[in-house]
Amino acid sequence: MNLVLATDDSGAPEIFASLQGEGPSMGMPVAFVRLSRCNLACTWCDTAYTWRFTGDNRPHRDGIAFDRKTNQVTLAPAEAAARIAALGQKRLVITGGEPLLQAGALAEMLAHLPDMAVEIETNGTIAPPARLDVRVDQYNVSPKLAHSGNDAGLALIPERLDAWAREPRACLKFVIAAPADVDEVRALQQRYRFRPGQVFLMAEGTDSKTLRERQAWLSELCLEHGFRMSDRLHIHLYGDTRGT
């Protein structure tokens, strides 16, 4: 079973070394692998080239449809692992798209990388199977709020949120575009009893100016309600670009 990856600007698999830009590992040097395909469709998604292909009419604010052939590439798990190992990093971030759609092939890939610490970035709707779960050190779970445009029945699955709330390796990272979004997070925290320090709030934005403007009021809400705040370091360093 091969992996389906996103491509970088040259058409090569999007496997690269960078600094982790978000969440509890922000600033750490890591290897990244970006997979293609997603089961959700966020209207503000900054990696729509992983899922909004020609013929996909799910809404996105940019209205761009990407050519599947030039934005997807397949690799055998062993080949993907070899490319990751060649980057010389000790930590791997698996992102997407939604990585857990390809859990079986990921488990096979990670069998070739036994000494790497592994983070998976997921929307939280899919349970990781045991053969993959045993190889994961950290889950960066980003449940999608109402402003994402996803139906709550698809994006906020109670049994999955219950499981992530109990999972010591999971952080919950919520994308915030307006102060009212924080009220939705607070309601979810009350219902699912997320642990103190487990919840990160991150401003939505793909440029430094937007992020800084939103962080000005988001920081105050984090202080008021006891949430942690995440920046988007890669946006400040590299802009909204692939392979960074």
Tell me the mean pLDDT in the region 105-121.
Answer: 98
- Using one digit for the tens of pLDDT, what is the confidence trace for 70-97? 999 999 999 999 999 999 999 999 999 9
Domain residue limits, the chain: 3-175
- Using one digit for the tens of pLDDT, what is the confidence trace for 198-233? 999 999 999 999 999 999 999 999 999 999 999 999
- Identify whether the C-beta of residue 165 lies closer than 8 Å to the C-beta of residue 195: yes
Share of the chain above pLDDT 90, in %: 99
Q: Hey, what are 173's tokens? A: 């990272």
**Closest C-alpha to 100, from 72, 75, 78, 133:** 133
Q: What are phi and psi of 209, to 5 degrees?
A: -60, -45
The pLDDT value given to residue 187:
98
CATH of 3-175, one of 3.20.20.70, 3.90.1150.170, 1.10.150.20, 3.90.220.20: 3.20.20.70
pTM of the model: 0.97
> Is a pLDDT exceeding 90 seen at residue 9?
yes
- Using one digit for the tens of pLDDT, what is the confidence trace for 116-133? 999 999 999 999 999 999
The pLDDT value given to residue 105:
98
The pLDDT value given to residue 200:
98
> Is a pLDDT exceeding 90 seen at residue 196?
no
How far apart CA 172 and CA 97 sit, in angstroms, is 17
